[in-house]
Each structure stands twice: as structure tokens, then as C-alpha cells.
Structure 1
Amino acid sequence: MWKLIALSCLWGLKYYLVASEIKNGNSTAFDYKGEFEIFKNNNNRKYLRNYDEMRGFKAFEENYKVIEEHNQQYQDGQTSFRLKPNNFADMSTDGYLKGYLRLLKSHTEDSSDNIAEIVGSPLMTNLPESLDWRQKGFRTPPHNQQTCGSCYAFSIAESIEGQVFKRTGKILSLSQQQIVDCSVSHGNQGCVGGSLRNTFRYLQSTGGIMRAEDYKYVSKKGKCQFVHDLSVVNVTSWAILPTRDEQAIQAAVTHIGPVAISINATPKTFQLYSDGIYDDAACSSSSVNHAMLVIGFGKDYWILKNWWGELWGESGFMRIRKGVNMCGIANYAAYAVV
């Protein structure tokens, strides 16, 4: 008994020291198996089969080495962000891509889209250098989509919540589960994935969206249980921003509210992101596979909210380089008109 307690204390001390070292880019050789045990405890990770655990450890060890090397580069001033053994640290690239990046392309033509009337308007001038909707009071809890590919539902629901907050000063939590269950009629595929455009079309046609407390998120697709009488926000239309125009995003975030965007979340550095301004030349802008929410910006970066829990990134958020269409952040940005 006392040996177990002592071992636990030693592990805790070791984790503190190693976590401190790796955060600062100064990690040295250590026992990966011991760190893996700590990772499992911190993330309440359980494996059904020994094979799954062995596979998880192999991915963890490989990821940890990537983290060490990258954070040494950060320490040397060669990069602007750090990595950490977050909740995806036991996933191979393939497992991460298949399990979490499920943004789909719409099967319909773009001709029916509503182009936002922002470019060329007075809204494009006199924009602030920085803005953070969290500082204005729009503080929503961290969300975790878990193994359901529902990023499209979270992005659109929270974008609408942001507009409601801008108008009323109140936070109204809206149902992501309704979108997951019910938007299959418009081309989405539940937890297999969906698109922002399909989601907009569904919400416009169905007559509104319910509160999250009336239609709770369960991280799996179920039968559609939408009740029109319980709808609290109606989506009358939607608008997309001009492709690859980051100034238009800045204007929309300033004057409309938080904006849903699509992004390329493929790189290992995205998977293991910890903090700082994300800037990876390997993050291509040619394709996108994930949806997030722009809730603000600084002079040189965007502030994004993600749906992977508070252990990922900066307590569930990310800062990413602005002005270069990093990871295709400006390929498809849109907001609902409520």
C-alpha cells in the first residue's frame, strides 16, 4: 500500500518536472512509459484491449519526440508556438484524421449562396486592431465533440449564439445535437461529418434551433427530435464572405459577431498544439477538413474556438497567424442571419 502511494507521489513529481521542461523546450531523456501512465490518468484514458494500449503507447512515444524537438525550436526562437502531450497525444496521424476531422464538402452548387455585402461597404473601414468577444462577455463553456464528427454543428450553433449575445447581451446555449440528428435531410451525415453550407440550409428551412438544455448533446447521431414550439432562434438566411479575404472576416467579426470558418487541421503540429501563435508553413490552404469559430483577433493573429475540450490548445482556444490564409482559414467563412 505504502509503496503504491510512494510510487504515485514520485510519478506526480516527475510529471511536474517533465511537464515544466517540455513546456519550456528543455526536456531530457526520460521514461516514456511512465509519462504514458501519467497521460492516461490525466485524460481518464482506458483501452479495451492490450493491443489498443500498445498502439496508443507507440503513437504517444512518437508524438512526444515530435513535441520535444519542436519545443526546442521554440526555445531557440525558431517558431512562435509550442506543442504539448494533449488529449490527442496517443493518436497516430491516421487515427486523428479519421476520428476528428470530418468536415465534408457540400454536394450542391455555390450559385444559391448569399454573398455577404461587406466588401466595399463602410463596414470595411475603421476596423479595430484587436477585438476579443470573450472580453465583451461572450464566454461560453469549453466543448468536446468527442469521437463524433460534429465540428460543423458546434461552429454554426456558437456563431448564432454570438449574434444573440451581440444583440441582447445574454448567452443562449443552442443545440448542436439537433443539427447532428436532423440536418441529414440537407446532406449532412451526423457524426460521419457535415458541411457549413448544408447546416445553414437546414436551419433556414426547418424554422429554427432549440436550446441545448432541451436537446442535449450526446456525441452520437440519433433520431431527429426537433420540436418547433421549442425553437428559440430563427435563421432567416446566411451569408458567406469573399474567399481568401481576411479583412472581410475582420469586418464581419467586428460588426456581425463570431464567424464560422473551415480550416485545414491536418498537420501534427495542429493535433498537438499547446499555445502561442500557430504558424506552420506545412499547413496547406488548398483544402480544409475542420470547422472552428473566429471569436476575435489581434494585430497578427486570429483567435479561434475549438471543440476538442479544454485540455487542447489554450484552454480550448487557438491563436493562428493572420494575413497569410494560414491553413485555409479564409477559404470558407460564413455566418447565419438571425
Structure 2
Amino acid sequence: MTNLFSGFPLGGLSLPNRIVMAPMTRVRAAAGGLATRSMAAYYAQRATAGLIVSEGVQPSLVGQSNPGTPGLHTAAQVESWRPVTDAVHTSGGRIFAQLMHGGRVSHPETTGLRPVGPSAVAATGDVFTPSGPQPAPVPRALETAEVPEHAAAYGAAARRAVEAGFDGVELHGANGYLISQFLSSNANLRDDRYGGSVANRIRFAVEAVSATVDAIGAARTGIRLSPGGVFWGVAESDVPEMYAALLRELARLEIAYVHLEATVAEDVLLGLRRDWPGVLIMNPVMPMGPKQTGRAEAEHWLGLGADLISFGRAFLANPDLVERLRIGLPLAPVEEQTFYQGGDSGYLTYPAYQHAA
């Protein structure tokens, strides 16, 4: 019988359970986008997950969204990640790097560059900068000839990820960042081959995934999607049609998995499960919403046809989450004020469950 604790083959990996640590921004990188010793300890603490997906890692400097995030676009960054992946593997784990191009969700104060996007439409809300939150700037609309360069950046970063010891990569196609912006009907106002129709709006996502598959192989490539999500002010028309079309194209590429967020009604998600013939990772609750994923939500989606279940905030405060779920131990609460403050407090300071003597 399928349950959270049964093994699962994913690409060339053998996962010991179906619990995935979801990607979560932690802004603990050093200057220059370098991974740190604390990051190695953080991920190693959580290596009992069937699969870890790292925090978002920028594939280029212009793709950096927040200060303090790590990259995979320089040789020094590759070198800095090796102790992290070594620590995870030594602890018996498996880890994919999430490749995240922020697109318009960025600021010149963070990167020294004007953000880019499919169209000159600013994101909704304030973005993080080194001097504090500031209104999202109007991005520079990419010229048609430039768009393939940004798709190719995912493939180049994927090569560096494998060089750094990652087992694979997940493209961040969700939550209002660059791939999501191209899918959007209000952030993408283009009238060229990358805008307008469903076929055109999915083109950038398919090209980015294709570049990654060409770089490291389909078995090492996944993508995260947030159908109907409204993060950073994006809106999507034709959600079932567009995502069905995108999933058909991704199926042809035979990638390792699709990672869906519960950002649309369950009946729509079930339709997408039917449209997707491959491995599905399901994030069963709205990211950053009022509810966290627990065992009941996980088992609900396993029953609906998901293969793997991703847990986000529960993994922050519970490095031993797999064991707590297995034997029904209570989950420790997260300290939200420490999410993005930097340092080791609220990062390495959550203990494993203390059993009574």
C-alpha cells in the first residue's frame, strides 16, 4: 500500500520515502551569492527527507530577486555549494537545486542592474533590497532576440549545479517569478512569439526546460508550477487550458517530475494530474497561507494520485520531520520573525524532538 514512508524511484535516484522538503527562501548566503557552512549544516539536518529541493538559486546576476540569496553563475559559487551537497550526501540525503530567475521581482539596489521581464509592467508590492523594502520597479521588457538567452541561463546553471554535486534541478516556474511572468496574462503583454496565445505564453517555460534537459538530462530536471496563482500581482487566463498545454509539452521532454502548488481549486488540480502522465510532487496547501501541510493533507493527496508530497514550513522548525510524521509526534511551531533575518537563530537552532526520559 502506498504511504508517505514507502520508497519511490525518481529519475536515477531511489528515495527512501515520499516526503519532499519544499524550496524556501532563507537569505543566508554570503556576499557574492556564496553558499556557507551554516547552509551545509541546515540541509544536512533535514537529509532524512526523500528529496530536498533547495532554496531558490539565481541562474544569473540579473535573475537575483532578493539580497542574501545564493547563485549558480560563477565558479566561486559552484565551489561554495560543494560542501553543502557533500554534507547532504554524507547524511544519506538527496538534493536538487531550485533555479529561480526573479525577472521583474528584483531591484537595481540588489543587483546593480535594471530588472527584466516579458513586458514593462511592475510587480505588485514592495521588493526586498539591501536598504529595506522598496516598491517594485518597472522592468525592462526583453527584446525577442534576448529571450532565448534567459531560457538558456537555466541550462547553464543546471550544468553548474551538477558540477557542484546536486542530484538535479527544479526550475522555479511558479509564484510570480520569470517563468510565471511569461505564463501570465497581465505581466506578459507581448505581441511576438512569446505572448498572446496559450501556445506563445508557454513557450518560454518549454524553452527553459528544454535547455535544462539538453544540459543535464531529463531524469535530473523538474519544474514547480502554481496554476492560477496571484503572487506578485500576476494573473493567468485560461488556467486549465494553458497548464494542460504546458504539461503536454513537458511530457514530451520526459522530465523527472512536475511539482504543483495548491493555488487553484482541487478539481482543476485533479484535471492537471490526469493531464500529466509523469511523477507528480504535490504541495497540498497554499504556500505561505494560514495552514501548514500535515500528515492528513499529505495522505489526502497521495490518495488522489500524487506520487510525492512536499512540506514547507513544517521542515523549518522540525529538522526531524520525517520521524515526527512517522510516529505521530507533535510538530514544533515556526518562528516567523526569523525567516529572513539572517544568522543561525531560527535556522540551525530548531532541535529534534526531545523524548521524555
Q: Same fold (TM over 0.5)?
A: no
Structure 1 or 2, whichever has the larger Rg, is 1
TM-score, length-scaled by structure 1: 0.22
> Counting helix residues as a fraction of each chain, which structure ranks higher?
1
Q: Which has the higher contact order (CA 8 A, sep 6+)?
A: 1
TM-score, length-scaled by structure 2: 0.21
